[in-house]
Structure formats: C-alpha cells, structure tokens
Amino acid sequence: MERAEKIAWLTILANEIAFMAATRILLAYFPDEIIAVELSRTGLRLLSAFMYWRLLPTLLRPRQGGQSALRPTVVFGIVLLMMSAFLTGPVGSQMSAQAQWIFALTSIAVGIKEEIAFRALIQNLLVPRIGRVQAIFVTMSLFILFHVGVVPPLRHVYIHIALAGLFFGLVFEFTQRLWLVIALHALFDAVLALLCTLPFHRERSALGFLLLLGALVSAAFWRWRVMRPKPNGSQSFRQSARVE
C-alpha cells in the first residue's frame, strides 16, 4: 500500500470515528432535543465533508470510464427506488411535523457527507484492491455499521439501509457521478422523513422491499450490459477502466 493511500485511509478512519463519537454523544445526552441534535449533526456532517474536500481532493475526482445515467434500466431503477420509499414505512413517525421537515431538509447534508465518505472515498479506494463487486458489498457492510446506534434497531430498517446502499454503490460505480448518488440519497431520505406528513402514506409493506430489490436488479442488469464482451472485439467496460 502506497504512502498516499495509507494517509487517505487514516484520514477516513479518524474523520469517521470522530463523527460517530460526536453524534452518539449528542444522541445519548440530549435524547429529547430532536431538532437541536439533528441541526448539530448536520453541522458535523458538513464539517466532515469539508475536511474530506480539503484533505483528499484528488480522491474525489471521478475515475475514467463512467457510463451515462440516462440508460433505461438506470432510470427505471431510480423510479423503483423512489416508489419503494412510499411503501417501506415512514421513519420517525413519533416526531412532530416540524421535526420531520427539519430531517427532510438536512437530508441534503446527509447525502453529501455519506456519499463522499462511502462511495467517492471508501468504495473507490477498495476497487483496485479487491474488485468492483466486492468493493460494493464491503462498502455496503460499512454503511450498515455506520448507522448502528442512530437508527431504530429493527430488522426491516437495516434491510432497507442495505438495499439502498447496494443501489447507491452500483449506480456510483458505473456512472462515477458523485452528484447523482448524493441527489438520490438526499431525495430518498427526505421522502422517508416526510411520509407521515402526507395524507396518502401507508405503513410498511413487503411491496416496498420488492421494489427496492427491483431497483437493484435493474442496476445489476445495466452492469451486466455494459461489462459483457462486445461482439466486435472491442474492450469491455471492465477492461477499459483498468487501462492506465
């Protein structure tokens, strides 16, 4: 492992440990100050993202070989992802309407911080070491661990996080468009936060998880299409992406 890569991993580790410790202290000592804690966590998220931007700017640049996000299978997967948010159950149903709107607005900071950390940095650093598929799954596992202690300890919540994390990982890996996964993540979280304020929301349904799986299948099919060997003998996407 090169020195620059070691520094990058140490920076990520220090930044994430500091962020996780600070947020869990806030949640433990001020459990009733929901809005104040969320606004404080938003400030920490933006500070963390700024630190990454200042300390690791070269790693935030997209790798070459990204594909268009306007392919039908990708658009279909994104539509299914957003539809699933309406059927997998509201988050924070015990919160006031004001708190839910605050959480929806702070979803922008959530998307920025988490997608920079997990997709642009961790996943991209893992790809040359262990391969694309393995990197996506390892990043998803770390993404789940990151949420332990800050989301309700319910099985369906963690299934939701895992499936959404896989989808974001697939989309980022094959588009290399950080802004896209930030926008998807922020919009998805905002919809979940606001579900209880909508007159037509419904409680958790198995159909929502099936839609999430459908989004993953759509993204995986797109991955297969862009990486399969070309009949004219041209390089596959995997091969072309490895050209120095």
CA separation (Å) from 239 to 127, 177, 193, 220?
13, 20, 41, 18
Spell out the domain ranges in the chain.
64-228+236-241
Cα separation, 122 vs 142, whole angstroms: 9
Residue 195: per-residue pLDDT: 73
Q: Which helix (H) or strand (E) covers residue 203, if one does? A: none
Cα separation, 8 vs 167, whole angstroms: 25
**78-127 pLDDT, tens per residue?**
777 777 666 655 555 567 778 889 999 999 999 999 999 999 999 999 99
The answer to whether the beta carbons of residues 139 and 119 sit under 8 Å apart is: yes
Secondary structure (H, E, C), 53-75? HHHCHHHHCCCCCCCCCCCHHHH
**59-79 pLDDT, tens per residue?**
888 766 655 555 666 676 777
The 8-class DSSP code of residue 228 comes to S
**125-155 pLDDT, tens per residue?**
999 999 988 999 999 999 999 998 888 787 7
